Amino acid sequence: MKHNKHSLSRRTFVKGVVASGAMLYGINLNASTDTVKKRKKTEELSGTVFHLTIDKTLVNVTGEPSYATAVNAMLQGPTLKWREGDTVTLHVTNNLQESSSIHWHGIILPYQMDGVPGISYEGIAPGETFTYTFTVNQSGTFWYHSHSAFQEQTGVYGAIVIEPKEKDPYEYDRDYVVLLSDYSDEKPATIYRKLKLFPDYYNFNRRTVGDFFSEVKTKGFLEAFKARQMWNKMRMSDRDLSDVTAYTYTFLMNGQNPATRFRALFQNGDKVRLRFINAAAMTFFDVRIPGLKMKVVAADGNNIQPVDVDEFRIGVAETYDVIVEPEDDKAYAIFAQSIARKGYALGNLSTDADILAEVPQMDPPQALTMLDMGMRKDMAQMKSMDMSKGDSMSSLKKPIPLTKLPIRWGVGTTMRAMNPQYRLDDPGVGLRNNGRKVLTYADLRSLRSTKEDRYPDREIVLHLTGNMERYMWSINGIPYHEAAPLEFHYGERLRITYINDTMMNHPMHLHGLWSDLETGDENHLVRKHTIISQPGSKISFRVTVDAKGAWAYHCHLLYHMTDMFRKVVVA
């Protein structure tokens, strides 16, 4: 098949062409000072001792040169290969003129090695080296990133692949990391300032007068007016799918833009393992490989009972491993469209690097519904969902004592989900009723048995809150800088329930402790490090509190993280 350049958006294609030319001819790729590095090709590093540097690095991924903050001058950083049971030592030197850090996302380790400034340690000062050392007690696909300022946006991230002690329970012939990210030539502080001044700055999918008149034709004037009145009362838009879009972002797959395209090769008859990692700052991706079923075999590094799907949504910070069986002499597009449907990351799977698959068309964006507002009466959206899985979560074997936490309703909480439901079977806005088999949380079942796991000792409820009009985010209506730490008791089994009182997906990450997600099968709770809380919904998981210390707990959307954040103290 030939590359169909006309199906690429003009902007993305132009950026890609210019970037390709720059790489071919070396234009603008000369670092101007000794403190600025030239971009290197991403490498794989293995062993037990690693030397990493964080450098200001000149890159060109959009057609214009810009400075990234990259690990070992690689965008993305080197892939680290560890072995379960080994003790690894990582010497990280900060060559930036500002403090930096590296957090090992999803890795279970002593809190002093977790890499969160202000909680785990003080960070790595300019010119200093910090040495992390810990024993690797898990296997699978994980990643690392900076936890300082907005450096994750500018390039401090990379993949971790941990080889298991015992062979994985599935076969494959080839193994590729597929790391997704979003890159902008704009400074992150500029993006954040624009969001604070005008939260819809990057949203070019806003409603128009024409949209209202279209609704009048289908619903009648009164119903259309009532719907608009309801959204306006909530100070929200049903078109607000992503705070930051392709207006500023170029979406990358393994550091390649859609024009330069990441390429994975296979030979006839191969089974190919693809380790998807969403290392983006703000972007959810919907991933499919047209013409191929994907067998999902791991979620957040942990093996699950295999599930065959056509498509899956990967939230920021999540990982999914899939196995595909491509047919002979065909080329396949690895297609990851953004949730806002304004851009995509693109890769290629073929027997020959010069054979490129046709680029799929992006799906049209779907608007949020009253279901996403936390109102159960949107039966049209619910008809394809098996809500009994949610109801079963409410039918616990016995009551769990609730520990009440401080909560504050006010200017920072303009919306409240009136009837939030468990929506494990809901693929989410943009993926509903699209004719494909889409992975949902209801499909996830751990390979290991959780039948004998302890029943929760107590429960806490966390409301994910915000004022989208003023771009304010918080937990229980209280921003991080005004919040007391959450207190977990060492040795307890805790149930945590999120109620999402906003119209955004929030990828919530609890450091240092596994989150056992309730998906409807008590015997196979799936173990994750990052849990997506859908708009207007609720979701529950269990935590065995088996690691003392201070841990971070937050939404992983970079521009929400400042205030939708908590320190957790385990004592």
pLDDT in tens, 98-151: 999 999 999 999 999 999 999 999 999 999 999 999 999 999 999 999 999 999
Residue at 17 is within a domain: no
Please indicate whether residue 418 or residue 401 has the higher confidence score (pLDDT).
401
Specify whether 186 is located in the same domain as 145. no
Please indicate whether residue 78 or residue 6 has the higher confidence score (pLDDT).
78
Residue at 58 is within a domain: yes
Please indicate whether residue 31 or residue 200 has the higher confidence score (pLDDT).
200
- Identify any residues that bridge with 87 across adjacent strands, giving them in sequence order: 135
Res. 230: pLDDT tops 80: no
pLDDT of residue 9: 47
pLDDT of residue 79: 98
pLDDT of residue 21: 36
Q: How confident is the model at residue 28 (pLDDT cuts 50, 70, 90)?
A: very low
CB proximity list for 236: less than 8 A, separation 6 or greater:
373, 414, 415, 468, 469, 503
DSSP 52: E
pLDDT digits (tens, 9 = 90+) for 436-480: 999 999 999 999 999 999 999 999 999 999 998 899 999 999 999
Residue at 210 is within a domain: no
Residue at 192 is within a domain: yes
Whole-structure pTM value: 0.90
Res. 395: pLDDT tops 80: no
Domain interval for residue 68: 37-167
Specify whether 174 is located in the same domain as 163. no
Q: How many domains does the chain have?
A: 3
Specify whether 340 is located in the same domain as 200. yes
Residue at 389 is within a domain: no
Amino acid at 290: P
CB proximity list for 7: less than 8 A, separation 6 or greater:
358, 359, 360, 361
Specify whether 162 is located in the same domain as 180. no
Specify whether 77 is located in the same domain as 187. no
Q: What are phi and psi of 414, to 5 degrees?
A: -85, -10
pLDDT of residue 229: 67
Specify whether 145 is located in the same domain as 200. no
Please indicate whether residue 436 or residue 222 has the higher confidence score (pLDDT).
436
Please say which residue of 365, 383, 418 terminates a domain: 365
Specify whether 154 is located in the same domain as 189. no
pLDDT digits (tens, 9 = 90+) for 300-335: 999 999 999 999 999 999 999 999 999 878 899 999
Specify whether 174 is located in the same domain as 161. no
Please say which residue of 116, 139, 167 terminates a domain: 167
Helix, strand, or coil (residue 137): coil
Two structure tokens written together for 282: 């703000």
What's the whole-number average pLDDT of the chain? Answer: 89
Average pLDDT over residues 6-11: 43
Specify whether 111 is located in the same domain as 184. no
Specify whether 498 is located in the same domain as 547. yes
Q: What is the torsional sign of CA 76, 78, 83, 85?
A: negative
Question: Hey, how many other C-beta atoms are within 10 angstroms of the C-beta on 5?
Answer: 12
Residue at 89 is within a domain: yes
Q: Rounded CA gap, 16 and 63, in Å?
A: 7
What is the CATH number for 127? 2.60.40.420
Specify whether 56 is located in the same domain as 143. yes
Q: Rounded CA gap, 188 and 558, in Å?
A: 10
How many residues are given for the chain?
A: 571
DSSP string over 427-471: --TTTTTSSS-B--GGG--BSS--TTSPPPSEEEEEEEEEETTTT
Residue at 406 is within a domain: yes
Name the helix (H) or strand (E) containing 305: strand 302-309
Specify whether 304 is located in the same domain as 448. no
Two structure tokens written together for 44: 């794989």
Q: How far is CA 243 from CA 202, 239, 284, in A?
A: 7, 10, 11
**How far does CA 86 lie from the centroid of its chain?**
28
Q: Rounded CA gap, 368 and 568, in Å?
A: 33
Residue at 472 is within a domain: yes
